[in-house]
Structure 1
Amino acid sequence: MDAVVPPGWPEQVRPPGAPDWERTAVAWLFDLVPHDYRAHEVLRRYPVLLARFAGDHVAAGLEAARAGWRTVRVDLADLLPADAIEAAIAAYEREGTRLAAAARGIDAVAGALRGEKWVPRL
């Protein structure tokens, strides 16, 4: 299927309207949250609720990565060598980038799960 999807749409999720697209969306969303979330029947039954939980979880992780990036140099300067601090900052940056992309994907998938149709603008 050669459907047009909104910017940020995760490549692991089939486009809305494709066969089993919701199943791929649910699998992707569960991959973003702690494994224990799979034990909640309500999240399996209501994918739009799972998207909400995933969005909250990813937003918290993104804020934690941003806080770590801002504070690691001061908090650990006396405990780690400079190269370890720089490596930590780089890791926080990569994690922040990954989580920001996941948040955009969650927003796009959640909209589709709510029945919103994305129309590209010229």
Structure 2
Amino acid sequence: MRQTASLTLSPDWPCQVKAPGTQDWDRTAMRWLRDLLPARYGTYPTLTRHPALLARHAQLQLQHEVRTMRIALETSRAELPAMGVAASVIENSIRMYAVELQQLGRLSRGVRLVGDALLAQGANRRP
């Protein structure tokens, strides 16, 4: 677990995001969440100005990426040979998909943590 002056962060807390409660932490959180989305989403003020919506959309985006990786992983051996892809390339792609699935899992856990912290901050600001 990563320690800060006042709290211990989960190992899934993204290193690009400052700890909740520190100066500008929410700005680093919003930037990190935006970076997880396709660039075109950065042009939508509705997403970029509302932390809860941004976190939700990042989570949905990651869920779709996970589905895509699972399909790619499950169909590689059946579909790639017919496309003329060499066996060694197929095996390398399978390893790549497996690694990417692990990475997407870590990112999803990080989005959940950051989103929860942003929501808690918003709740604390309400009168």
Return the TM-score normalized by structure 1.
0.90
CA offset at residue 80 of structure 1? 1.0
For 2:81, give the aligned amino acid: A
2:76 counterpart residue number: 72
Cα distance in 1 for partners of 2:58, 2:90 equals 30
Q: CA RMSD in A?
A: 1.3
For 2:49, give the aligned amino acid: R
Alignment match of 1:18 (pick from 18, 22, 27): 22
Conserved? CA contact 2:51–2:119, under 8 Å: no
For 1:44, give the aligned amino acid: T
Structure 1, gaps ≥5 residues long: 117-122
Cα distance in 2 for partners of 1:15, 1:29 equals 15
Structure 2, gaps ≥5 residues long: 122-127
Relative contact order, higher structure (CA 8 A, sep 6+):
1
Give the % identical residues.
36
Alignment match of 1:27 (pick from 9, 31, 37): 31
2:118 counterpart residue number: 113
- 2:67 aligned with 1:95: no
CA offset at residue 7 of structure 1? 4.1
Cα distance in 2 for partners of 1:5, 1:32 equals 20
Return the TM-score normalized by structure 2.
0.86
Match of 2:14, SS state, is coil
1:59 counterpart residue number: 63
Alignment match of 2:52 (pick from 48, 52, 55): 48
2:124 counterpart residue number: none
2:91 counterpart residue number: 86
* Cα deviations by residue, 1:79-109 (Å, 9 ceiling, x for unpaired): 2111010011011112111111100000000
